[in-house]
Structure 1
Amino acid sequence: MDGPFANRGRRWPNVTVAIIALWTCASPALSQQVSLPPPLASNHATDPPLAEAMQRIEQLEQTVFELQQRQNGGLIEAEAPICFDAPTAELPTHYPIYDSGWTLRPYDAAKTPFELTIGLHNQFRYTGFSRDEATTIDAAGNVNTIPNRNDFDVNRGRLVFSGYALDKDLGFYANIDYSTVASSSIQPLLGWISFRHNDALTLYMGLGKVPGTWEWQQTSRYTMGADRTLATTFFRPSITAGMWGIGKLGDSLSYTVFVGNGLNTLTLRSSDLDTNFVYSALAWWEPLGEFGVGFSDQEHHDNLAIRVGHGLTQTKNDSTSTDQSGAEQTVVRLSDGTRLVEPNALAPGVTVNAFDVWLYTAHLGLKKQGYSFSSEVFMRWLRNIEGTGGTSLESLLDNGFYIQGGAFVIPKKLELFVRGSAVTGDFGTGSEVAAGLNWHLFDKRSARFTLDVTDIRDSPAEQSRTGYVAGESGTLLRAQLWTFF
């Protein structure tokens, strides 16, 4: 058929699409309910007026979609008038939302691949300690004062930035730490760039934890008590710059492998380091499904969950060019709490300036219906020990463990727990026994009050954040509020 109605059969479907689009634009309250049909096939490419109309309809469809996203994100109200005069290029690319921290999230990650989450950790603690003895004498013959305590502190405060940039598999993380107990009140603590290849491997580069032990690998927010155990504090490595990989092999086997500058080099510069790397790996198996984070069964597993694993860490510590102990060696202690590199610690007139460290750990965890059990054993060898003047000293073996169990008397809210740990070696044995409660304020892990009482005997560990002091015996009381938002 020729004449003005020749294309009627082809035009009416497209006019219908236009009417639906305009009607949707005019009624914002209905815009959440209407889904536009896909463009109908036609030969409008050969019809210039119709081609222009269809192009405008497609622009309107895109505008409606973006306005719907803005409305769902809370950027505009459902009753607000909608104007289509502004070009779509001026619409925002991101919207704010709360998702375990304040998050700036893209509408379309393919077009604008960047996301940022800002979170805040805060650990506020009261510490009281009643000593049994005012002083102790260590293996080097030093007389050390043991203080009583009655104070408030912010043991860990952390402003955390995380997200991805350029690609969803290119992640970043930065942690700015503030504290009233550390030597630096404000400092960068952890920070890295990560590349996710697949579930089997994500590669990290930056400042991170040397894995070493299970309780150390877990964040301090998820400890059973107010902080990590005495045994973990004694044996664990710390933080250093390096590279590491994390992944899952199949459905139940996970791993972390790490290579970095040393056992604990957080505050050190290259001039303070020797030329040896630290190597560490931790692997664990969860044969009955996801074990979950931490040690408490706050998830309330209906069925038994099991985690079993082990780890190995090794590094060599060389003497400095002046035949003195290096700065990164000072974290290693004997089983009575004496620093290994303290003069006279192993022999009169001798100061250790070189040694190798081998640390092996094995752990087991169980969770079911609010009950939990977890334990870890430690074996540490100090080998190839050298002192000033080329003195060779005998190797040392230290052993330790912790064991802890909890039960929720109010599901997901109130947990009672007990735990104990010990360290033994050639220079003595130190131990602790503790009991306490965890109160999850909103039935979640993000706000937790903890109260525990610990009896300490001859502590081999010392660390400002945990509250242990080398050589102390007495009663430690901690009341703490952990929040994360």
Structure 2
Amino acid sequence: MRRKHGHFANRGRRWPSVLLALVALWTYASPAQSQQVALTPPVPAGDAVDPPLSDAMRRIEQLEQTVFELQQRQPTGMIEEDASICFEAPVTEHPSHYPIYDTGWTLRPYDAEKTPFELTIGLHNQFRYTGFSRDEASDVDAAGNVRSIPNRNDFDVNRGRLVFSGYALDKDLGFYANIDYSTVASNSIQPLLTWISFRQSDALTLYMGLGKVPGTWEWQQTSRYTLGADRTLATTFFRPSISAGVWGIGKLADTLSYTVYVGNGLNTLSLQSSDLDTNFVYSALASWEPLGDFGVGFSDQEHHQDLAIRIGHGLTQTRNDSTSSDQSGAEQTVVRLSDGTRLVEPNALASGVTVNAFDVWLYTVHLGLKKQGYSFSSEVFMRWLRNIEGTGGTQLESLFDNGFYVQGGAFMIPKKLELFARGSAVTGNFGTGSEVAAGLNWHLFEQRSARLTLDLTDIRDSPAEQSRTGYVAGESGTLVRMQLWTFF
């Protein structure tokens, strides 16, 4: 027994040898073996013999020796001296992408040179309560039509956005697809903004697809960054809309930025080629930030320690003609007189005459200031409608409309609770419309990704109408909006 323990001590604790030894011992002690031993002739007295289990011991030692020799023949690492069996993990290649949250859920490559593809998926949602108490139940427009003015008390998803963005094939080849859903638009689900972009340098990135005709500052900024619940009444009246086209965005210096755009028309989002005239829209917007980065939007959510200034202007021009079927296209219907009447409404400018062609010139100037949670912004609008033609070849007089907005905000709790006030107005040949509003913004996580807004607006003779903003042409009364904007 001492020699057996010596073998174990010298060779380590090898469980295969122990197992084989136990098997051998069991075999020797089995009934068959017992019978074999019992039938063996007795050994004469006086002959030297080993103890009764000496055969078993020899067999165990032989088995141990066999196991030891087998162990020495195994590849290194398969049977360890501590009797454990090691299984080496197979070598696999590094995955090409990894998920991360970066203003949306992003699938990002480990090596952008080897695998040039990145995808970010974001979700934006604007949930709003709207209440409106009218002063009058109806209004009469410049064409003599009676317009019904409804009261409101409802919940809506004014804007929903499922956004896919990133790059493919090369880091400078970008893509963007914005799928809109809402309960207020004529199309509850539709592509809103989509493009492919080619970055040449900081001075120029070229875009091709469906985008905003820049026109005005508040319109060019995303609706997520408005100071109040939505864009102002004046911006809603003057701004262009969305069209397919080609545009460039860049910086000519650290402080000077620009956008230039050429597209199908002033408002061609829902139009097919058969609905379009042959006139392009041309638009440019430039801004200067002489004291450093102004940031996005109008609130000083970044809490600039030093004064930040933005100064800019924009110019937009297009010709509008009726379609081949003599029906006004959607790009013409966004143009209204200063009382809210559509320019192409029959009898709007003269009895028995319907406008079917005109030129639009829009010039805007804007100013923005931010410092330590305080903000001020303003924009002035000037619009000329020229070369107006009516049915029967009638030549009509040119029209000039102008307007403005001013707004300011102050954070009572830095980066979190902001109070604001604003006003805007539109004046033209057919009267003046205006609004005055006040409210608050509560940034839930001290950032722009979740904002609760409450505003109260007094409206007088609205010249603007747009389902998402909540303005109705000709209305006067009190508008209450409470909403939650989330984007992640």
Confirm or deny a common fold (TM above 0.5). yes
- The answer for the alignment partner of 2:430 in structure 1 is 427
CA distance in 2, matches of 1:242, 1:329: 18
Does the 8 A contact of 1:272 with 1:328 survive in 2? no
- 2:222 equivalent to 1:200: no
Q: 1:334 aligns with which of 334, 337, 341?
A: 337
- The answer for the alignment partner of 1:284 in structure 2 is 287
CA distance in 2, matches of 1:292, 1:323: 45
Aligned length: 403
CA distance in 2, matches of 1:322, 1:148: 37
> SS of the counterpart of 2:445?
coil
**Which structure has the larger Rg over C-alpha atoms?**
2
- 2:184 equivalent to 1:181: yes
- The answer for the alignment partner of 2:20 in structure 1 is none
Does the 8 A contact of 2:267 with 2:330 survive in 1? no
Q: Which runs of 5+ in 2 are unaligned?
A: 1-85
For the structure 1 residues 326 and 157, does the alpha-carbon distance in structure 2 shift closer, same or farther, using more than 3 Å as the test? closer
For the structure 1 residues 83 and 217, does the alpha-carbon distance in structure 2 shift closer, same or farther, using more than 3 Å as the test? farther
CA distance in 2, matches of 1:117, 1:340: 42
Runs of 4 or more above 2 Å deviation: 81-88, 319-328
Question: What is the one-letter code of the residue matched to 1:406?
Answer: G
Matches within 5 A, 1:457-472: 457-472=460-475
Question: What is the one-letter code of the residue matched to 1:117?
Answer: T
- The answer for the alignment partner of 2:234 in structure 1 is 231
Q: 1:151 aligns with which of 150, 154, 161?
A: 154
Question: What is the one-letter code of the residue matched to 1:177?
Answer: D
For the structure 1 residues 471 and 442, does the alpha-carbon distance in structure 2 shift closer, same or farther, using more than 3 Å as the test? same
Question: Alignment identity in percent?
Answer: 88
- The answer for the alignment partner of 2:352 in structure 1 is 349
Question: What is the one-letter code of the residue matched to 1:440?
Answer: H
CA distance in 2, matches of 1:328, 1:425: 21
> SS of the counterpart of 1:232?
helix
Q: 1:86 aligns with which of 75, 88, 91?
A: 91
- The answer for the alignment partner of 1:369 in structure 2 is 372
- After superposition, the C-alpha distances for 1:411-464 in whole angstroms (9 at most, x for unaligned) are 000000000000000000000000000000000000000000000000000000
For the structure 1 residues 101 and 235, does the alpha-carbon distance in structure 2 shift closer, same or farther, using more than 3 Å as the test? same
Does the 8 A contact of 1:326 with 1:353 survive in 2? no
For the structure 1 residues 83 and 175, does the alpha-carbon distance in structure 2 shift closer, same or farther, using more than 3 Å as the test? farther
Q: 1:115 aligns with which of 109, 115, 118?
A: 118
Deviation at 1:328, TM superposition (A): 2.3
Deviation at 1:322, TM superposition (A): 4.5
Q: Which runs of 5+ in 1 are unaligned?
A: 1-80
- After superposition, the C-alpha distances for 1:322-354 in whole angstroms (9 at most, x for unaligned) are 544334211110000000000000000000000
CA distance in 1, matches of 2:234, 2:152: 21
CA distance in 1, matches of 2:88, 2:146: 79
CA distance in 2, matches of 1:276, 1:268: 14
Deviation at 1:142, TM superposition (A): 0.2
Question: What is the one-letter code of the residue matched to 1:129?
Answer: F
TM-score, normalised to structure 1, is 0.82
CA distance in 1, matches of 2:327, 2:116: 51
For the structure 1 residues 378 and 82, does the alpha-carbon distance in structure 2 shift closer, same or farther, using more than 3 Å as the test? farther
CA distance in 1, matches of 2:291, 2:89: 55
- 2:134 equivalent to 1:131: yes
- The answer for the alignment partner of 1:297 in structure 2 is 300
CA distance in 1, matches of 2:454, 2:88: 57
- The answer for the alignment partner of 2:362 in structure 1 is 359
Matches within 5 A, 1:401-412: 401-412=404-415
- The answer for the alignment partner of 2:40 in structure 1 is none
Q: 1:477 aligns with which of 477, 480, 487?
A: 480
Does the 8 A contact of 1:273 with 1:327 survive in 2? no
Question: What is the one-letter code of the residue matched to 2:189?
Answer: I
- After superposition, the C-alpha distances for 1:170-211 in whole angstroms (9 at most, x for unaligned) are 000000010000000000000000000000000000000000
CA distance in 2, matches of 1:350, 1:82: 89
Deviation at 1:265, TM superposition (A): 0.4
Deviation at 1:318, TM superposition (A): 1.6
For the structure 1 residues 82 and 312, does the alpha-carbon distance in structure 2 shift closer, same or farther, using more than 3 Å as the test? farther
Deviation at 1:274, TM superposition (A): 0.1
CA distance in 2, matches of 1:123, 1:327: 25
> SS of the counterpart of 1:348?
coil
Superposition RMSD on alpha carbons, in Å?
1.1
CA distance in 1, matches of 2:92, 2:372: 55
- After superposition, the C-alpha distances for 1:17-62 in whole angstroms (9 at most, x for unaligned) are xxxxxxxxxxxxxxxxxxxxxxxxxxxxxxxxxxxxxxxxxxxxxx
TM-score, normalised to structure 2, is 0.82
